A and B are shown apart, each in its own frame.
Chain A
Amino acid sequence: MRLLRYFLFRVLQMFPIALFIVVINFALIHMAPGDVSILLAGEGADPDYMASVRESYGLDKPLIQQLGAYIGQLLQGDLGLSFRTREPVIDIIAERVPATLLLAGTALVLASVLGVLVGTVMARRPGSALDAAVTTISISLFSIPVFWLGLMLILLFAVTLRWLPSSGMMSVAGPREGLAYGLDVARHMILPVLSLTAVWLGQYVRLSRSSVSETLAEPYVTTARAIGFSERRVMTGFALRNALLPIVTVLGLELGLLLSGAVLTETVFSWPGLGRLIYEAILSRDTPVIMGAFLIMSFTVMLAALLTDLLYATLDPRVRL
């Protein structure tokens, strides 16, 4: 009950944010140099389509009505047509989402699980030489430009050693079903997942190292030890359980940052996801697609923040309305 109310409240709070993002998008289009109708329809669109765009977005009306028309279009799921393929932007994006989810999701799970593990182990031995070394390595890891790491991995494992494919999601003439297909995709995933995981891992190690060491200094941990709980239980039931709260928060807040890494990685590995789509759109100046991708990414991040809040509320009984 408490959770449901909390959840509904948070959902309501998302509306102004969504509106704000849409307004930013709208403002940017109007502030950008060049004709708004060209930005919305794409360069070289045929006159009929151009006219229909003018009509549906109400481009000859006052700005506030245009904003209304724009929001109306968005509410119908209409993000316009890609100027390159003439397909609805929403369909193009939807088609690319699974690949991105597969790549980013795998890397996210790997990085967060490994990161929390390593960070927790380090928090148990603060100030040791190993702790200092791991700290330095984690900082270096998240200082690597992820796209460059991808290139270097390609150089080593695909070009020099020839162990793994360098691009794409599946082999050109490879299997398209069954276990063999899965393995083929997995082989293609190794390098991009490795690049993303490496860069994100640094963040999670640092984050969990600091939040676990913080909870380990809390009085309830002393109580648990005085009671005689084994160190394993002290760690899981008390230290890590409480440390998860800040970890989850940051995880949700930084999703936007993570997605940018995914875009760059997809570009390097020609992974057929959203990131690659954005890259192609930039190259061909396909503004409707870029704007659509921005909106979708924003809403994804908002949704992630919402889920994070909900997860946080289930983890922390202190959260109240």
Chain B
Amino acid sequence: MNPTVIKTIRATARSWTGVLSLALLLVIAAAALAAPVLGLPDPADMAFDLYQPPGAAHWLGTDNFGRDIFARVVWGARVALIVAIGAALLSILIGSALGAVAGYFGGWVDGLLSRVFDIFLLIPTFFLILLIVALFGASLPLTIVAIALTTWPRSARLMRSQVLTLKSRVYVQAALAAGAPHWWVILRHVIPNGIAPIVTDGTILMGMAILTEAGLSFLGLGDQNMVSWGSMIFEGQRHLRLAPWMSIAPGVALLVLVASLNLLGDSVNFAMNPQLRTRGGAPKRRRGVAPPADEPAATAGAPILQVTDLRLEYAAGDRRIAAVDGVSFSLPRGGSLGIVGESGCGKSSLGSALLQTMPNNAELTGGTIRYDGRAIVLDGKPVIEGGRSRIEALRWTRMATIFQSAMNALNPVTTVRRQMVDTLRLHRPGMTRDEATARIGEVFDMIGIPRSRMNAYPHQLSGGMRQRAMIALSLILEPELVIADEPTTALDMLIQDQILGEIADLRERLNLSLILVSHDMGAVAESCETVAVMYAGRIVEIAPTRRIFDRPAHPYSRTLISALPSLTGPLETLDSLPATGSAAAEGGCRFAHACPAATALCRSTPPPAVQLGGNHVAECHYAEEFAAEPVDAAEPTATEEACA
């Protein structure tokens, strides 16, 4: 069996609803299968003891014909399961086939079929079935077919979207390139890999089918030759006052079966996508601390941001992952710092920690952040003063962020202007709309967005313009410190360069302090005076930009720098690195597993922070040796402009 299936089953088995619903389903299925051999009274056998309440002779009593209700409920399970399985199977069969064809061939085939799915989804299922059964007479097979005929578009749409993502996968493309016929590729590769969510949805289809059949039987359109729970309730209804047990038992049976199916589907769904259960949520209330008593008043010379030994951990299941593991740095007022590293090194977590916008599964476990000499985080806890956390007083008015706008960082349903007006008026309550609009115009001019775009929605702007709008939003309240988290990722090179240039320019004009988080050494070089290289949760090297490009002292920085393609120099092979593994082992240097120059010392002893003079620090045993030999990559031309 494939590993995802096993993982899903295990995860399902860990949730109590999953186990309970599966157990109930098994009991019901077993009872239904074993009904003929259980020694129950014949469910159609009429006796003279009519309307017997539940008791020892008849566990659930008897009905108006003296038939044993318990026996009828057990036999009714057969009908319910036949309907459920039959209708769901048929529906999945038709649906997956048509859905796969639509998604696989695309073009007009997809257009036509999708239209058909949509039309079928608009038909009121129950009434069509009702009409079919009313016209053709009530029989179980017809009911099953009628239900499947109205539910298949559900499976079809699911399968179609699955196939759309699957068909670009390598193995599908490989099979096609090898000359396999389309039908073979669909049957062999596409359907088996896309079927999982459709099967999960199958439990919901089964529940729907059972309720539909019960509803039909309740309207008197059930198969007269079968014992169905719905028809039992139909009969029970007329004797509700005299013999309520006639309606109670089959209804409970229906509820238990359908709820088990739905709960099972829900558990499997959550097991496959565990983040569904925990994502989002209100921001966690974190316990704060009072400001330290001996805190000096803010002084002019204090760095605008000072971070000491900051630690941030994520809780993932039972594991705790240290994304930021003892980071310290200090940013002078008006200074700029670039934080560079590969994805997963903790740079964005660091950014979110500075703003205290971490997700709920992240926790600051230690360290201090000082803004303007005043602690906003102390020992990992937010500092609260006068009932309000200090960060709140800084938000956007003094400390703002530029998020990557390609990622929906702006509210998609409100205009850019409206978002800025709201922001302005939130922090400057007395401001009129006209004043706000005037201020937005100013910022737009400064950033180079035509004022006419003010009333645009984010989706109406180009990628570059949207990013500029995000920058405008961050500057609208004239903050002192801006934290830019990957502001140019997902933009094309030309626009990237423009935007970075604009950020650098604005910084100078507005005397902003800037922290630029990026995976791109070149981007950082262009706009920052200091570069901090992060690896596996630590700053492994920090130095003035010029210095780090000339004399990188950490082998990881050296690799990052030589991974920069040069536009002007000769073509060279770019260096690449093995990913940050769990190999970033305890004891030794985090980078030892991937370091080309690692020695036994590196694997056994964590490197000290080596001071190389001129604010250059590197955590490497051999920092001095490395710093002595220049890196052999062509220097990016951008560096010179920004740092000269």
Contacts and interface: CB of A to CB of B under 8 A. Distances in A.
B494 interface: no
Nearest to A141: B259
Contacts of B262: 139, 142-143
Contacts of B218: 145, 147, 264, 267
Given A32-B135, A32-B136, A298 B123 contact: yes
Interface in B132-154: 132, 134-137
A242 B280 CA distance: 14
Contacts of B254: 145, 148
A129 B128 CA distance: 41
Contacts of B219: 263-264, 267, 278-279, 282
Nearest to A139: B262
B251 A152 contact: yes
Interface in A224-270: 224-229, 231, 237-239, 241-242, 245, 253, 255-257, 259-260, 263-264, 267-268
Nearest to A150: B237
Interface in B435-466: 457, 459-460
A159 B241 contact: yes
Interface stretch (A78-86, A119-127, A171-179): A119-127
Nearest to B248: A152
B281 A125 contact: yes
A155 B244 contact: yes
A93 interface: no
A290 B134 contact: yes
Contacts of A219: 403-404, 407-409
Interface in B457-499: 457, 459-460, 473
B263 interface: yes
B130 A278 contact: yes
B280 A290 contact: no
Contacts of A215: 280
Nearest to B259: A143
Contacts of A140: 255, 259, 263
Contacts of A125: 281-282
From DSSP, what is the main secondary structure of chain A's interface residues?
A: helix
Interface in B395-417: 395-397, 400-401, 403-404, 407-415
B233 interface: yes
B426 interface: yes
A39 B135 contact: yes
Nearest to A149: B251
B629 interface: no
A268 B233 CA distance: 11
Interface centre among B233, B254, B357, B411 (most CB of A within 10 A): B411
Contacts of A25: 131
Which of B121, B122, B207, B255 has most chain A Cβ within 10 Å?
B122
A256 B212 CA distance: 13
Given A148-B233, A242-B412, A225 B127 contact: no
B221 interface: yes
A299 B278 CA distance: 40
B392 interface: yes
A298 B248 CA distance: 33
Contacts of B301: none
A107 interface: no
Contact of B395 (A24, A147, A148, A228): A228
Contact of B126 (A225, A245, A256): A256
Among A39, A136, A154, find the residue whose CB has the most chain B CB atoms closer than 10 A. A136
Contacts of A100: none
Contacts of A302: 122
B240 A226 contact: no
Interface string A34-56: 00000100000000000000000
Contact of A136 (B17, B211, B215, B244): B17
Interface string A114-137: 000000000111110000000110
B126 A214 contact: no
Contacts of A221: 280
Give the size range of B's interface with the partner.
Answer: 35 or more
A101 to B, nearest CB: 16
A22 to B, nearest CB: 12
A181 to B, nearest CB: 28
A287 interface: yes
B240 A154 contact: yes
Interface stretch (A59-67, A68-76, A312-320): A312-320
A283 interface: yes
B319 interface: no
Nearest to A260: B126
B277 to A, nearest CB: 5
Contacts of B407: 219
A242 B282 contact: no
Interface residues of A, number: 88
A216 B413 contact: no
Interface string A156-176: 000100000000000000000
B457 A318 contact: yes
Nearest to A238: B411
Contacts of A256: 122-127
A148 B279 CA distance: 36
Contact of B128 (A24, A223, A283): A24
A20 B119 contact: yes
A282 B134 contact: yes
Contacts of A237: 411, 414, 422
A31 B149 CA distance: 16
A17 interface: yes
Contacts of B244: 155, 159
B423 interface: yes
B427 interface: yes
B136 A318 contact: no
A160 B128 CA distance: 37
B351 to A, nearest CB: 10
Nearest to A166: B240
Given A231-B283, A282-B130, A143 B255 contact: yes
B624 interface: no
A124 B121 CA distance: 32
Nearest to B260: A143
Given A126-B278, A226-B355, A317-B459, A220 B233 contact: no
Interface in A179-227: 210, 212-227
B119 A148 contact: no
A224 B279 CA distance: 17
Contacts of B457: 317-318
Contact of A145 (B126, B135, B214, B277): B214
A127 to B, nearest CB: 4
B130 A224 contact: no
B122 A242 contact: no
Nearest to A305: B122
B220 A214 contact: no
Contacts of A297: 124, 127
A294 B473 CA distance: 53
Task: List the 9 closest pairs (A to B, CB-CB), nearest first.
Answer: A216-B280, A260-B126, A256-B124, A148-B251, A228-B395, A213-B280, A143-B259, A32-B135, A124-B282
Interface of B: 17, 119, 121-128, 130-132, 134-137, 207, 211-212, 214-215, 218-221, 230, 233, 236-237, 240-241, 244, 247-248, 250-251, 254-255, 258-259, 261-263, 266, 276-283, 355, 357, 392, 395-397, 400-401, 403-404, 407-415, 422-423, 426-427, 457, 459-460, 473
27 contacts: A32-B136, A125-B282, A126-B280, A126-B281, A140-B259, A143-B259, A145-B215, A145-B230, A145-B233, A147-B233, A219-B409, A220-B408, A220-B410, A224-B411, A229-B426, A245-B413, A255-B124, A256-B123, A259-B127, A279-B219, A285-B134, A290-B130, A290-B131, A298-B124, A301-B123, A301-B124, A317-B457
Given A253-B121, A264-B219, 18 more contacts: A32-B136, A123-B281, A145-B258, A148-B250, A151-B240, A151-B247, A152-B247, A155-B240, A215-B280, A227-B423, A238-B411, A239-B280, A257-B126, A264-B215, A282-B219, A290-B130, A298-B127, A318-B459
